[in-house]
Amino acid sequence: MRYLHVAIKNVVREKRRSLLLAGAIAFGLMVIILVGSLADGIMDSFINHQAGMISGHVVVKGYSYSARDNLISWMEKGDPILQKAKDFFGEGDRINRRSTTMGTFISGSEARQQFVMGIDPQLEEDLRDLLILEEGQYLTDEEESGILLSKEIAEELGLKTGDSVLLKTRTLDGVNNVGDFLIQGIIADDLGTVSSMAAFVHRSYLNEVLGIGSEDFTELHLFLEDSRSTDAVTGDFYKFLENENVALVERPENRQKRQEILARLTTENWSGIRYQLSSLEETFTFVYVIGVFLNGTSVLIMLILMGIILVGISNTLRMMIFERRKEIGTMRALGMQRGSVVKLFIVEMQIIALLGVFLGGISALLGGLIIHSITFDLNHTFFSLFLYRGHLTMSFLPMRFVVNGVIIMFLVWLASLLPAGKSAKIDPAKAIHNIS
Amino acid sequence: MRRLTLFLIAIYSLSFILVAQDVSENNILELVDEKLNFQSDFSCQFTMVTYRAGAEPSTQKMSLFSRPEEIDGEEKFLAIVMKPDIDKGTGYLGQGDNYWIYDPESRRFSHSSARDTVQDSDVNNDDLGTADFNTDYKVVQMTEGMLGQIDCWILDLVAISDNVDYQSIKLWVGKKELLPYKEQDFSLTGTLMRTVLAPKWTVIEGKYIYRQVFFVDEIKRGNRTILLFDNVSLNTLPDHLFTKAYLEGSSR
């Protein structure tokens, strides 16, 4: 405690220097936290919105040959894959049955092609939270032919809530079909490109248009509690199904291979149903590459800043020791041990480092709030994929602050060791007479 | 009307009087197919005018060659765009169930399907094949009626095969020649999707051949396509015509 008391007094005595040093540490920590939080925030934003809107973290398709000999993804109400998924995934993970198709929405003489997703509105509460409606309401059970259409498409077709729109598509087996939908809500374009990627309808009604049973589905979308490890979880689920002797479509090494595997599927002789598993990471590899790049950049920035901090601390401490040679000499002459001198300087630097870490944490938080408050008008551009309602999302993890803070404290300790050690070796007689 | 390659033809029936006498729900589709399908090669030039809402109509001239299944064991057709210059050389090749589109600019073939449309018109690749009403549909109702001045059988057809584009069809068949003058195509949910009209026919070498066909998109208002046929011939065509190599060579 007595070291601490003396160290605090020394830190306070050299207010300006202490604050500058703590400020440098704070700045370094702030940048490290901000870059890391931004990288994670961008990835989280993409994973959660992208997956929530048009995909799952893990997607299962069940391929079989239709009566017309077309390769289609179609699973019936009681498909065994449902139970297998329930057996494998945890309580916190969600399993959603969805049906999808590509079709053309037609209103009068206007037409627009669109991806259509059939969902169970009451079971997809998360989607309700994710979708921001410009007008109208979320899908209700009372209106089975209800549809949520994006603002972009509604404007293009000149439609508003309450209007009817035709969907021209084909049944799973390729027969021409038309669905008549009633617009229940218009999806705002707050989520940029993602907002206009799909139209949402009741699965049972879309199934009618697709010519399959109302409880059937074309895809199984799995949403994980821990959405950061979609590829690993998909791999584990694949192995689980393999052990359960479920017929599977080979997992590809990359996206291009997936197309080759699917093409090969049509030439091989097989029957029954074969399940294909794909992770969000696999489907949107480019986004994950960007994530890896951002994280790599944050690590690089961290290393550079840590190096600067290390050198800065070491030099400042040398200067401090030089200026306080007489003081050290006097303390040593009064009987202070070498070890105690080392400890004193180390504690002093740790106090400054702690102050820096504290300030760094606060400034990172404030900086994050400022960055988050900026609105980017990037709707309908590629970059909108990484924004949430026009804002950059920061993912502040307490653990990131703690880990980086501890690393900085350790580095400061490391940087202090050598100069503090040297200070202990100063000859008291020479130091008192200011002889170097 | 479906399947216009071999199609454009209705065999001139020497025995149409007899057919008219024997026609019933059970045999009328077979008789119509016989009228539309023939046993020889076929070639023609046709002009396709496509109307799209809010846009100027686009006109394309194409050469068309076809061969029925009976000759080589599989049905074949080849169509090449002659005009406009920007699309010149674009080709469509059909061999059995396989369809390819040739792009002269990239010099590449891409696989197509029977359901894909020809040059963004209202005509499908499948419309350029042989007529097979009898295989794909059954008559659920047969009534009599007039189509303008033409005395017709009006047939309500429902698909019995999985290999169809439309779940149900309404067909107006002229009583006299047993030629289909009008066809309405319905979706699985019963929505009228397309109307095809064949008001004008010509007789060449004793066979009936379409001269003009209208395809009207009943879903998207204002979309329609008109086909006009010219230089029709039933002469035998060389084998190398129905190959990718011919398509590549013809665009150079």
Residue B91 lies in a domain: yes
The residues that bridge with A170 in the sheet, in sequence order, are A176
Q: What is the dihedral of CA A115, A119, A122, A128, to 10 degrees?
A: -30
CB contacts of A176 in chain B (<8 Å) are 165-167, 185, 187-188, 193
Residue B1 lies in a domain: no
Residue B14 lies in a domain: yes
SS3 content of chain A, % helix, strand, coil (to 5): 55, 20, 25
Structure confidence at residue A192 as a pLDDT band (50, 70, 90)? low
Q: Which residue of A has its CA nearest to B192?
A: A178
Tell me what pLDDT residue B16 has: 43
Domain boundaries, chain A: 2-49+286-432, 58-223
Count of A-B CB contacts under 8 Å: 57
**DSSP per residue, B204-240:** ETTEEEEEEEEEEESSSTT-EEEEEEEEEE-PPPPGG
B53, B167, B185 member nearest A109 (Cβ): B53
Q: What is the rounded distance in angstroms from the CA atom of residue B172 to the CA atom of residue B79?
A: 28
Residue B3 lies in a domain: no
Q: In what helix (H) or strand (E) does residue B103 lie, and over which residues does it extend?
A: strand B98-103
Tell me what pLDDT residue B181 has: 94
B53, B54, B193 member nearest A176 (Cβ): B193
Number of H helices, E strands in chain A: 14, 13
Q: What is the rounded distance in angstroms from the CA atom of residue B185 to the CA atom of residue A281?
A: 43
pLDDT above 60 for B21: no
Min Cα distance A207 → chain B (Å) is: 12
pLDDT above 60 for B9: no
- Most B CBs within 10 A among A72, A177, A180, hence the mutation to make, goes to A177
Q: What is the rounded distance in angstroms from the CA atom of residue A272 to the CA atom of residue A73?
A: 12
B134: which 2 tokens? Answer: 């009898």
- From residue A189, give the alpha-carbon distance in Å to each of A147, A151, A186, A256, A343: 16, 6, 9, 31, 60
pLDDT above 60 for A111: yes
Min Cα distance B194 → chain A (Å) is: 10
Indicate the burial class of B227 (C-beta count within 10 angstroms; 0-12, 13-18, 19 or more).
Answer: buried
Residues of chain A with pLDDT > 70: what percent? 94
Task: Give A241-258 pLDDT, tens digit per residue.
Answer: 999 999 999 887 766 677
Tell me what pLDDT residue B222 has: 86
Residue B4 lies in a domain: no
Residue B2 lies in a domain: no
SS3 content of chain B, % helix, strand, coil (to 5): 15, 45, 35
Of A334 and B116, the one with more pLDDT: A334
Domain of B141 in residue numbering reads as 9-250
- Residue type for position B168: S
pLDDT above 60 for A90: yes
User: Is the Cβ of A211 closer than 8 Å to some Cβ of chain B?
Assistant: yes
Tell me what pLDDT residue B226 has: 94
Tell me what pLDDT residue B83 has: 87
Please check whether residue A160 is in contact with residue A186, taking contact to mean a CB–CB distance below 8 angstroms. yes
> What is the crossing angle of helices A80-88 and A230-243, to 10°?
120
> What is the crossing angle of helices A15-54 and A2-13, to 10°?
100
List alpha helices for A272-397, DSSP H. Answer: 280-283, 285-323, 325-333, 338-373
- Most B CBs within 10 A among A178, A207, A208, A267, hence the mutation to make, goes to A178
- Pick from A353, A357, A345: nearest CA to A318: A345
* Cα torsion angle, A211, A213, A215, A216, sign: negative
User: Is the Cβ of A156 closer than 8 Å to some Cβ of chain B?
Assistant: no
Of A311 and B184, the one with more pLDDT: B184
Residue found under tokens 């396709």: B48
Number of domains in chain B: 1
Left (φ > 0), alpha (ψ -120 to 50) or beta: where does B235 sit?
beta
Q: Which residue of B has its CA nearest to A108?
A: B221
CB contacts of A66 in chain B (<8 Å) are 162
Task: Give B192-248 pLDDT, tens digit per residue.
Answer: 999 999 998 888 776 778 889 999 999 988 899 999 988 888 889 998 888 888 888
Tell me what pLDDT residue A399 has: 87
Residue A72, SS3 per DSSP: strand
Tell me what pLDDT residue A102 has: 94
CB contacts of B189 in chain A (<8 Å) are 177-180, 208-209
Q: What is the dihedral of CA A239, A244, A248, A251, to 10 degrees?
A: 0
What average pLDDT does range A18-44 have in this prediction?
86
Residue B244 lies in a domain: yes
Mean pLDDT of chain A: 86
User: Is the Cβ of A68 closer than 8 Å to some Cβ of chain B?
Assistant: yes
CB-based contact A180 B167, cutoff 8 Å: no
What average pLDDT does range A128-137 have in this prediction?
86
Q: What is the rounded distance in angstroms from the CA atom of residue A410 to the CA atom of residue A402?
A: 12
Task: Give B37-56 pLDDT, tens digit per residue.
Answer: 777 888 999 899 999 887 88
Structure confidence at residue B125 as a pLDDT band (50, 70, 90)? low
